[in-house]
Structure 1
């Protein structure tokens, strides 16, 4: 029997999505409030924010390519770019958590017009980054379950928000990097 004719068994990913969301957002929230590891000297932790920005840049580019691919109805290419975006997002998360575990927060030192712009970008980035975790996971699991219409409905929200989060992650880095 052809693989296309075999009924696909839907899986309930909701408990996993909830657990991952709580762990990821909880870990980020806890580490953001910690003072950082004192006297860490195995390597220069100031490299980690740069890696964060690089991973966010790749996530943005992969998402943009995924969007273009699906608009051209190239589903397999779209899927590959989405998996690449998940990979770079995961790598971002690892370096982000490591940075916040190993060093204290860096205050923004800019003044004038750029200060409120920076904080607006930062706050919207943080809030939407927390929201994107369950959204992206729900979107991908709907695709895995072959719930194409439900996948498309949520992807219309997930894609622009995830693009915004990855792009503003790079902007935040560029604006605060002189103060590291």
Structure 2
């Protein structure tokens, strides 16, 4: 396959995934009237997957620093597969669950309580400081992960290394911050 084909493929997949996530988060794709019983467990599953991917990325780095390409490759394939499961679970959750969760909760008038100087006000700012780069980098690192994975599987070592210098820290931040975001928003789930 040519580089041109790979870049087009990655661009199309990225656009489709990002567009799907945006449409789901804006509730522009109708889901079922009643979510299946397993739906409330998906965010916890996603946090577990993110935490596992964080550990796997660090262990993968350990092995490549020691020259163990086979273990590095196996761990990255596992991490890539788990990240794909995460993506399916994330999309499924946002398709099935039609309500938004707001950090700090809302009062009866719909006003976000965390925006006031309440017990959640300061923590809401911390939450948003973590959430915003998490979202931006999650979208931005997606094509880098696909390209890095492809270059690694093709044993295009120099191209893989150049990409991974950016991909690794961003992917690591996204997986680790995903766990933190879950732990911070979990008390405000109402399902």
TM-score (norm 1): 0.89
Q: Which stretch of the first structure deviates more once superposed, 79-88 or 141-150?
A: 141-150
Gaps of 5+ in 2: 105-113, 115-119
Bigger relative CO (Cα 8 Å, ≥ 6 apart): 1
TM-score under structure 2 normalisation?
A: 0.84
Contact in 1 for aligned 2:35/2:96 (Cα 8 Å): no
In the TM superposition, what is the alpha-carbon distance from 1:38 to its structure 2 partner? 5.4
Match of 2:20 among 21, 27, 33: 27
Question: For the residues of structure 2 that align with 1:167 and 1:152, how far apart are their CA atoms?
Answer: 22
**Does structure 1 residue 46 correspond to structure 2 residue 40?**
yes
Q: Which residue of 2 aligns with 1:123?
A: 132
Farther-moved stretch of structure 1 (165-174 vs 36-45): 36-45
1:149 pairs with one of 130, 134, 158? 158
* 1:129 and 1:165 in contact (8 A); partners too: yes
Which of 94, 98, 101 aligns to 1:106? It is 101
Paired residue for 2:173, among 144, 164, 170? Answer: 164
Secondary structure at 2:39 match in 1: coil
RMSD over aligned Cα atoms: 1.7
How far is 1:147 from its partner?
2.1
How far, CA to CA, are the matches of 1:172 and 1:70 in structure 2?
29
Separation of aligned partners in 2, 1:37 and 1:145: 39
Instruction: Return the alpha-carbon distance in structure 1 between the equivalents of residues 38 and 72 of structure 2.
Output: 37
Structure 1: any 5+ residue segments left out of the alignment?
1-8
Checking the alignment, whether the CA contact within 8 Å between 1:10 and 1:145 is kept in structure 2 is: no
Q: Secondary structure of 1:107's partner?
A: coil
TM-superposed CA distance for 1:146, in Å, is: 2.7
Structure 1 CA distance for aligned equivalents of residues 184 and 162 of structure 2: 34
Say if 1:62 and 1:82, in contact at 8 Å, map to a contact too.
yes
How far has the Cα of 1:10 moved from its partner?
6.2
- 1:29, distance to aligned residue in structure 2 (A): 1.0
